Amino acid sequence: MAVTPEQLKALENIFPAEDLLTHPADTLAYSYDNSQRQSIPAAVVFPRKEQQIVALLQHCNEWQLPVTCRGRGTGTTGASIPAANGIALSLERMDRILEIDPDNRLARVQPGVTNQQLQQAAGEHGFFWPPDPTSAAVCTVGGNLACNAAGPRAVKYGTCRENTLGLTAITGGGSLVHTGVRTTKGVVGYDLTRLFIGSEGTLAIITEATLKLTPLPEARRTLQAVYRDVASAAAAVSAIMAQPITPSALEFMDGPALQMVRNYSDPGIAADAGALLMIELEESTSAIDTAAAQIASTAKIPGCLSVEVADSQEQVRKLWRTRKALSPALRNVAPKKINEDVVVPVSRIPDLIQGLTALADRYAISIVNFGHAGNGNIHVNLLIDPDDPRQLKAAEACLDEVFTLVLGLKGTLSGEHGIGLVKREFVGREIDDPTLALMYQLKALLDPRNILNPGKTLP
């Protein structure tokens, strides 16, 4: 559905020609993300100033026209898929780093700044921002905040919520609001910063973020621990997380994941290996050797086949070779796989993997599991051909049981990818009715006409 002449004129009054797309051939590029979903918007706009967004929302409230924010479209849940008759609001041109303040360990950035650009700018002052999604080279800070994206370092440094001090945002009703503080302490008012982070653009459009920076570590060590089975590896994870030294990354691969890599390349891993842990430590120069020795000792539990500590960059690359070979192997075998990012308590990882193995057998579906074991965030990959109706039907039933299994283990449906479109129907299983009712009230208060990313996040 195209915008009407009246709407087009109003949009042209807000956005210059180079910041407004209405032809389907142009808007097509903004109709999809990494979820394999697609919906072509009526128009795409590229604001450069907050007042343009305020003016746009005033019109869209009047027109009852939905607005969907997006960064670079790297999300996997369809959260940035626009409504077919709506506006796609791309924040990629609000891309300025406004301030790096090393004295107060903070940065102020616009939402279109990429994660990598921020890391490079902070790095020049000896700092970094801990959230490190796999897509860091291209994903935007605004997108990271919208779905509370994190990555391997979250096990030590936390997610976006723990590393954001304040926000400037525009609510669905068109109000420009400021949340949070510039200090590491502050309890005045309600914590709207954490509310907006992870809300997937359904409550407000983030236009600026004040981020907490962390000093770059002096030294880093990489370890690889190989285990006979998943139970041994999971026991090692619990043991590692129970001692005082917290790894900056603690990554897990199960037996099927290792076998897939073997089919793709030579990982240099023992043939009888049933699970693998990749461990990274970030400490001071004086503490790193002691920390590595402590972690290596803790990892050597019954069922451990080997623990190797890298002592050179070449050895680091060698140890990471297995993990880095997994993604291309998965793309080669199942380019349209279903990838879920569930989380369970660390102690329940063995139960999760055991349950997933049983589901794989029951539905005759290959399931490969890997992820951030240090906080129980496991990426569950169902390797199917969605163009095969039989496989697709089996996968839908299997996925339903995967979520039942996760919730039964006191886990959660998503650790970092978000809900978007793909998990929306399952949210009611995790969140009870009174709590959902409160969330709907918040949505109605901040976005009274339901124009911000409607049909996402809440069931």
Report pLDDT for 62.
97
**Residue range 334-445, CATH number:** 3.30.70.2740
Of the candidates 134, 201, 149, 129, the one whose C-alpha atom is nearest the C-alpha of residue 172 is: 201
Query: What is the pLDDT at residue 436?
Result: 98
Query: Average pLDDT of 104-128?
Result: 98
Q: Where are the alpha helices (DSSP H) in 134-284?
A: 141-146, 154-157, 192-196, 230-242, 255-264
Name residue 44's amino acid: V
Same CATH fold, 217-330 and 5-90? no
Per-domain residue ranges of the chain: 5-90, 97-215, 217-330, 334-445
Question: Both tokens of residue 386?
Answer: 């969605």
Q: What percent of the chain has pLDDT over 90?
A: 86
- The tens digit of pLDDT for each residue in 334-351 reads 777 888 999 999 999 999
State residue 229 phi and psi, 5-degree precision. Answer: -150, 170
Q: What does the pLDDT read at residue 219?
A: 97
The CATH number corresponding to 97-215 among 3.40.50.2300, 3.30.70.60, 3.30.9.10, 3.30.465.10 equals 3.30.465.10
Q: Which of 32, 60, 34, 64 lies closest to 47 in space, CA to CA?
A: 60
Q: Report the alpha-carbon distance of residue 251 to residue 155 in Å, rounded.
A: 10
Q: Is 1's pLDDT higher than 70?
A: no
What mean pLDDT, rounded, does the chain reach? 94
Kindly report the CATH number that applies to the domain delimited by 217-330: 3.30.70.2190
Query: What is the spatial distance between Cα 261 and Cα 266, in angstroms, rounded to a whole number?
Result: 7
Q: Are 252 and 370 within 8 A, CB to CB?
A: yes
* Beta-bridge partners for 170: 176, 205
Dihedrals phi, psi of 109, to nearest 5 degrees: -140, 155
CATH entry, 5-90, from 3.40.50.300, 3.90.15.10, 3.40.50.720, 3.30.43.10: 3.30.43.10
307 pLDDT tier (thresholds 50, 70, 90): very high
pTM of the model: 0.94
Convert the pLDDT of each residue in 61-78 to its tens digit.
Answer: 999 999 999 999 999 999
